[in-house]
Structure 1
Amino acid sequence: MAEAFKFELVSPERLLVSESVEAVVIPGTEGEMTVMANHAPVMTTIKPGVVTVKPVSGAEQRFVVFGGFADILPSGCTLLAEEALAVQDINQDGLDRRIQDAREDVSDAKTDAARAKAQEYLDHLSTLKSALAA
């Protein structure tokens, strides 16, 4: 059994998770990361994706996050999400609307930098949709 550590998943609306966990898989912008107890200190930005939580007390939990950042310390991890929902609460129509909005943002971008940022967000959302469909 892996050593436990404190994990919190916070969105602007509410605290979604605050408990002892064995591991958390987060979608960092530099790649997916598995966080466990005694992890080296890291702060990373989060891309849209799925956070998988393996609590000490029970079954695996999955949450969709739409950006944010994670503060990882040897004693715990706090993920501050721009928006977060339990996977079972995801509305496919809402996700499709986000993808359509992102497509429009790519088309409407006035600079190459804005277009690249909008395209990156669209790519993340498309990947998220594929991951949730699997």
Structure 2
Amino acid sequence: MATFLLELVSPEKLLLSRQVEMATIPAEEGEMGVLPGHSPMIVALRGGVIRVRENGAETEKLFIAGGFAEVSPERVTILADEATPLANLSRTASERRLAEAEAALQEAVSEPEPKRDAAYARVQALRTAVSVAEAA
């Protein structure tokens, strides 16, 4: 089956760089499947899960807190604000971070709209993290 190069980069390191059959990414407008030969585009990402398919099966799932993806027919490069394999994502730590983000959102009520929007996006991303966390 045809493949494309998927690269996932976080501020800390390159997390993934390999040929895959398909990737599902959490675009701002909704889940987006990417296959080899996809039309070129740049996509804003929301907090969610990247699903990777290789050899006909889902092989990897990673939580991202947002970012951007550059898609071309032969390659997808994801620049994530934060990225963690679901197996390493702690529900307890995610719940703590969500509580902190919700408090920050309450404080941002009187802030300019871009700052409120960023705080709200952070809360939404961490709600997703809590719901998909696989570690204790």
> Which ranges in structure 1 are unaligned for 5 or more consecutive residues?
none
| Correspondences of 1:1-20 after superposition (within 5 Å) | 1=1, 3-20=2-19
Query: What pairs with 1:81-96 in structure 2 (closer than 5 Å)?
Result: 81-96=80-95
Instruction: Please tell me the root mean square deviation across aligned C-alpha atoms, in Å.
Output: 2.0
Aligned length: 132
Residue deviations 1:25-61, cap 9 Å, x none? Answer: 0001111100010000110111111100113497510
Verify the 8 A CA contact 1:99 1:122 in the aligned structure 2.
yes
Q: Which residue of 2 aligns with 1:79?
A: 78
SS of residue in 2 equivalent to 1:60: strand
Residue ranges of structure 2 left out of the alignment (5+ in a row): none
Q: Write the deviation string for residues 44-92 of structure 1: whole angstroms up to 9, x where unpaired.
A: 1111111001134975100011111100001110001111111101111
Which residue number in structure 2 is paired with residue 36 of structure 1? 35
Checking the alignment, whether the CA contact within 8 Å between 2:62 and 2:84 is kept in structure 1 is yes
Instruction: Provide the identity percentage.
Output: 33
Q: Give the structure-2-normalised TM-score.
A: 0.86
* Counterpart-to-counterpart distance in 2, 1:40 and 1:97: 39
Q: Match of 2:111?
A: 111
Does the 8 Å contact 1:105/1:115 carry over to 2?
no
- With over 3 angstroms needed to count, the CA separation of the structure-2 counterparts of 1:11 and 1:95, relative to structure 1, is same
